[in-house]
Chain A
């Protein structure tokens, strides 16, 4: 008879669970610890946090299909509902807690309207300046990039490739567990 896995234990647990996979040698994990603690305090009684030391529980890490740490997995009724790989800010981690608690995927965060307006205005000004001064390819390129950042959250092509780019970049901020 083997011990129940974390996922099995979370199924019988009265509250949703965030499994936080970390290791003592993992610097990004230490950076994340105060953020997770703060959110755990905020969601106390609604969401529980279970810490998993990757060095001490390699079998569990394998079962959870963790490829890099820190990794945080939200379980609700024994089912994984969300996962976050790599370090991030409180704003990045909070949706995980919210998803674990509510079971609903977080609303997609877009660019605030005043921010969008500022980028559109600046991008347009740069493109105009680029066209009238030469034309200057540098100004046109910078203006184009600024304009793109103003509408990137509404661009379906960018939304499709963004997770892949994030995964590529994320590899730089995650450590591979020695399991």
Chain B
């Protein structure tokens, strides 16, 4: 796919990280301001992992999937 700039391992890491951050925030493991921060910020790696596109990578013309077109 043209717009995918993340390798498979990269996507898995992002999804796992996103779920972990959301768990910490939403399950109440971290409370207060940090908890709220994690509740929101966790969606970022999750979304970029699921879509396979990282805007920051695109900005710096970087990609982890070297073989994709």
Question: Which of A's residues lie within 8 Å of B, judged by CB?
Answer: 89-91, 114-115, 118-119, 121-122, 125-126, 129-130, 132-134, 136, 139, 142, 146, 149
Contact = CB atoms under 8 A, between A and B. Distances in A.
Closest 10 CB pairs of A and B: A133-B26, A125-B19, A89-B2, A122-B15, A133-B27, A129-B23, A129-B26, A136-B26, A122-B50, A91-B2
Interface residues of B, number: 19
Nearest to A125: B19
Interface in B18-39: 18-19, 22-23, 26-28
Contacts of A119: 50
A121 B26 contact: no
Interface of B: 1-3, 8, 11-12, 15, 18-19, 22-23, 26-28, 43, 46, 49-50, 52
B19 A122 contact: yes
